[in-house]
Structure 1
Amino acid sequence: MPNPYKLPVWLLCATMLTSVPAYAEPEKQPDAPPPAAVAAPVKTTGFTLDDAIAKALAQSPRLKAFGSGVAAAKGEQRQAGAWVNPEVGLEAENVAGQGAYKGFDSAEVTVGVTQEITIGGKISARESIAGKGLEIASLDEQAATLDVIRDVTTAYADVVAAEENVRLALEQKELAVDVLKSVSVRVGAAAAPLIQKSRAEVERSTATIALDKANRERDISRKKLAALMGEERLTLPLDSAAFYAIAKPEAASLEEKLKANPDLVKLNSRLEQSKARLDLEQANAIPDPRLSVGVRDFRDSGDQAFIVGVSLPIPVFNANRGNIEKARHEVSRTEMDNRQLALNTSAELTQAHERMENAYVQAETLKTEILPSADKAFRLAREGYGLGRFPYLEVLDAQRSLFGVKQQQIEAIREFHTAKAQVERLTATRLSTLQKSGENHE
C-alpha cells in the first residue's frame, strides 16, 4: 500500500541542497524577496468548551422536556398506589304505588357504601411499574444530558476547526499573492516564461475561492453551535489552544467504563418493569370483590336495619389469559432487545475509541514528521526557484503539499475531538464530572 506521507523525489533533492558546501558554487542573489515564514496556528483562550456546555445545559429545551417527563413519572408513581374510590348509593322501594304503597308512607329507603377491594398484588405491581418508570425517565434525562454534551463538544470542535481552516485559507491566499509577486519579478526580468505568471494568478484566484468557502463553512458551524446553546449567534472567540492540546487515549478496559452508561443501566429497569407488567396481568386474572354496607329505613313501621353484602365476578369468559401471554412475550422481547443494545453499545464504544486512537496517531505524525518536512520542502523549493534551480511547478506542488498537510492536521484533530466526545458519551464521563461538581457546590 503506498505511503500517503511519502515525499516526492524532488523534495529529497531539494533537501540535499542544504548540505552542499559553500564553495561548491558562488551564491547568486535571489530575484525575489526571501520567503515568508510559515505562520504557526494562532492559539487563543476565550469562550471555553466548558462554558459552551454549561450554557447549553442551562438553556436546552430538550433537557427541559425530559425534566417534565421525570415530573410526570413522579405523578404516575404517586397515582399507582391509589385505591378505587368508594361508591355511595341511595335506593327507595315501595314508593308512588297504589293502595298501601301510595306516596312514601310504606317506602323502604336504603343508604349504603360500596367499596371494591383490590387484591392479588395489583397495587404493588402498579407501584413497581411506576417506580421503574421513574427510574427510566431519570435515566433518559441523563442520556439526553450526555447527548447535549456530546453534540456541543462536536460542534465546538467543528467551529474551531472551521476557524483554523479560515486562518489557513487566508495564509494560503497571502502566500499565493506573495508567490505571484516573486513570479512577476522573474517574468519581468525575462528569467521565467509568461505562463508561470498565469499559473500563479490562477493559484491566487483559487486561494481566494477557497477562503470564501472556508468563511461560509465557519459561519454555518458557528450558527449550529449557537443554536445548541440557545443563542442566535456566537459573540466570543473560542479556545483554540484546547483544540490543539490532545492527549494520547488511555488503554483502559472499555467494558468497565460502560457500567456508567445510562442507556445500559436503563436495560435492567426496563426488564424489571416488563416483569412487573406480567405480575400485574396475572393479578388482574384474580377478581376483586365488592363489599357493601348500608342502612335500610322502613317508613311504615319506623324501624331500621343494617344491610351487608359482597359480590365477586366469576372469571368464566375472561380470565385475562391473552394479556398474560402478551406480557410474558414482552418480557422475552425486552430481554433480547437489551442483549442486542448492550452488544451494539459495546461495539460502538470500541469503534469510537479506535477512531480516537487513529486520529491521535495521525495528528501526531503530521505534527512531528510530515509538517516539518513539507514546510522545509516548500521553503527550499521557493528559494531554489528564486535562484533558478527549480521550475515554478515545483514551487506550486510544494505549496499545495504544505497546505494539504496542514488541512489534514486540522481534520485529524477535529476527528479526535469528535471521537472523544462519542467515547465520553458512551462512558458517561462528563456526566459523572458534572455530578461531582454539583455535590461540591451543595
Structure 2
Amino acid sequence: MSSTRWPLRAALACAAAGALCAAPAYADPAPPFAELLRRAQSAAPRLAESRADVAQSEGLARQAGARPNPTLSLNVENFGGSGPFKGGDAAESTAAFEQALELGGKRPARIAAGRAELEAARAKAAQAQGDFAFDLAAAYAQAEAADLRLKLAGDAIALAEEDLRVTRAMVEAGKEADLRSLQAQSVIEAARAQLGEARAERAGAFARLTALAGGDLPITSIAFSLLAHADRMEPLPVVDPIATPPYLAAQAEREAAARRVRVEQTRAAPDVSVSLGVRRLAGDDATALVAGVSAPFPIFDRNKGNISASQAALVAADARLNAARLDAQAEIASALAKADAAQIRVGASRQAETTATEAYRLTRLGYEGGKLPLVEVLNARRALIDARDQILNARLERLTAEAGLARLQGAAPFGDQP
C-alpha cells in the first residue's frame, strides 16, 4: 500500500507547485505592468489617435483667431476702345485696398469656441488614456490567468495520470474491474482536451495583449504577477462621480457646444467691407482717392437654421452630461460591489481549496484501501481542480474591479506594481 502513497504525495506536490512542466518555456516575458503601460504610451495606436485629435484641435484653435485677409486690386478702365478711348490716353487706373471687418463679436466667439473644442479634445484624450490603461490591465491579467489555467490543466492531467496508475494497480491485484481502468483513462483524455483548449486560450490572450501594447515583439509570458495585487486586499478608493474622466469629457463637450451656439448667433450679424484706393486719370494727368463701404443686406439668410441646429446640439450635450453622471454613479457602485464580493470569494475559495485538497487525499487513501469507489476519487479530484479555478476567477474579478475604480479616478491602475 505504501508504494502508491508516495506517488500520491508527489502528484499533489507537483499540482500545488503549479505543475511547471505542464507548460512550455517562453523566452519573451512581459515587463511589469507599470513599465508596459509606460512603454505603450508612445506605441499604442489608440493613444496615437487621441494625441492626433488633440493636435488637430490645437491647430483649429490657432486658426480660430485668424482675421480675414485684405484684398488688393488693380483696375484699368477706358482703354483700347474707339473714339476718344482709342489707345490708353484716356485710361483710368485704380489701385485699391479692401478689408473685411467682422462685426457682432464673431472673432472672440470663434476664439472661445476653438479653446473649448481644444479642452474637449484634451478631456477625451484623458478619458481615452484611462480606458486604455484599464484595457491593458485587463489584458495583462487575463493573459496571466490564461497562463495559470494552462498550468491548472497540467495539474489535472498529472492527478488523473496518478489516479489511472493506482486504478491499474487495483485492477491487476483483482480489487477492481477492468471497466475502472477505462473510466480513469477516459478522464485523462478529457483532461488532455481541456489542456489543448487552455493552450489556445493562452495564445489568444497573449496575442491580444501584444496587439494592445503596440509592441513590435510578441509578448509570450508573464514574469511579474499582476494577479498578486488582488491578494493585498487594499482599501477601495472613494470616487466622486463628477470627477470621473467620462463626466469631465462630457462636461467639456457641453461647454464646446455652448460656444458653438454663440458662434452661430454672431454669424447672423453682417460683416462690413471697407476699401480705399488711388485712381489715376491719364486724360487729365491727375490722381484722386477712391473709398467705399459695402455690406450684405440680410433679408434672406439670417443663419437661423444653423442657430437652431447648434441649440439642439447643446440640448443633446446636456443630456449626455446628465447620462455621464448617472453612468459614473452606477459604475462606481458596481465596481465597489464587485470588488467586495470578489474579496469574499477569494477567501472562501482558498478555504475551499484547502478542504478539497484534504478531501482528495483522504478519498485516494480510502480508494487504495478498498473502502471507497473510484467515482469518489474522480469527484474529489474534480472538486479540487474547480476550487483552484474559482480562486483564479475571484482574483481576476477583484483585479478588474480595482482597475475599473482606477479608471473612474483618472489614475493609472496598479502604479506600485513591482
TM-score by length of 2: 0.90
Counterpart amino acid of residue 33 in structure 1: R
Aligned equivalent of 2:305: 322
Aligned equivalent of 2:196: 212
Is 1:87 matched with 2:91?
no
Aligned equivalent of 2:264: 281
Aligned equivalent of 2:224: 239
Tell me which of 330, 339, 346 is aligned to 1:356.
Answer: 339
1: CA distance, partners of 2:415 / 2:86:
83
Residues 58 and 41 from structure 1, CA distance in 2 versus in 1: closer, same or farther, beyond 3 angstroms? farther
The answer to whether the Cα contact below 8 Å between 2:19 and 2:152 also exists between their aligned partners in 1 is no
1: CA distance, partners of 2:413 / 2:69:
43
1: CA distance, partners of 2:182 / 2:321:
64
Counterpart amino acid of residue 392 in structure 1: L
SS of 1:110's partner is: strand
Report deviation, 1:60: 0.7
Aligned equivalent of 1:377: 359
- For residues 243-262 of structure 1, give each alpha carbon's deviation from its aligned partner in whole angstroms, at most 9, with x where no partner exists: 364233635533x2x44432
Q: Which runs of 5+ in 2 are unaligned?
A: 21-28
2: CA distance, partners of 1:175 / 1:361:
28
Report deviation, 1:42: 4.9
SS of 1:399's partner is: helix
Residues 204 and 426 from structure 1, CA distance in 2 versus in 1: closer, same or farther, beyond 3 angstroms? same
The answer to whether the Cα contact below 8 Å between 1:43 and 1:240 also exists between their aligned partners in 2 is no
Tell me which of 165, 169, 176 is aligned to 1:181.
Answer: 165
Aligned equivalent of 2:286: 303
Residues 41 and 304 from structure 1, CA distance in 2 versus in 1: closer, same or farther, beyond 3 angstroms? farther
2: CA distance, partners of 1:120 / 1:431:
49
- For residues 57-80 of structure 1, give each alpha carbon's deviation from its aligned partner in whole angstroms, at most 9, with x where no partner exists: 231122112212211111111110
Runs of 4 or more off by more than 6 Å in structure 1?
A: 43-46, 431-434
Counterpart amino acid of residue 390 in structure 2: Q
Aligned equivalent of 2:329: 346
Residues 144 and 43 from structure 1, CA distance in 2 versus in 1: closer, same or farther, beyond 3 angstroms? farther
How many residues align? The count is 403
Report deviation, 1:333: 1.9
Aligned equivalent of 2:50: 66
Alignment of 1:36-51 (within 5 A): 36=9, 37-38=12-13, 39-42=15-18, 47-51=31-35
Is 1:163 matched with 2:139?
no
- For residues 25-77 of structure 1, give each alpha carbon's deviation from its aligned partner in whole angstroms, at most 9, with x where no partner exists: xxxx5573342234435599973222322232231122112212211111111
Report deviation, 1:411: 1.4
1: CA distance, partners of 2:220 / 2:190:
30
Aligned equivalent of 1:10: none
The answer to whether the Cα contact below 8 Å between 1:56 and 1:152 also exists between their aligned partners in 2 is no
2: CA distance, partners of 1:66 / 1:312:
42
Report deviation, 1:107: 1.6
**Stretch of structure 1 that moved more, 216-225 or 264-273:** 264-273
Paired-residue identity, %: 29
Aligned equivalent of 2:23: none
2: CA distance, partners of 1:43 / 1:401:
18
Residues 41 and 263 from structure 1, CA distance in 2 versus in 1: closer, same or farther, beyond 3 angstroms? farther
The answer to whether the Cα contact below 8 Å between 2:79 and 2:88 also exists between their aligned partners in 1 is yes
Report deviation, 1:433: 6.3
SS of 1:389's partner is: coil
Alignment of 1:8-157 (within 5 A): 29=1, 32-34=4-6, 35-36=8-9, 37-38=12-13, 39-42=15-18, 47-157=31-141
- CA RMSD for the aligned pairs? 2.3
Aligned equivalent of 1:18: none
Tell me which of 388, 396, 402 is aligned to 1:420.
Answer: 402
The answer to whether the Cα contact below 8 Å between 1:378 and 1:399 also exists between their aligned partners in 2 is yes
Tell me which of 223, 226, 236 is aligned to 2:207.
Answer: 223
2: CA distance, partners of 1:241 / 1:142:
24
SS of 2:232's partner is: coil
Aligned equivalent of 1:399: 381
Q: Which runs of 5+ in 1 are unaligned?
A: 1-28, 435-442
1: CA distance, partners of 2:175 / 2:230:
46
2: CA distance, partners of 1:261 / 1:360:
24
SS of 1:114's partner is: strand
- For residues 88-134 of structure 1, give each alpha carbon's deviation from its aligned partner in whole angstroms, at most 9, with x where no partner exists: 12222222233222221112211101110011111111111111111
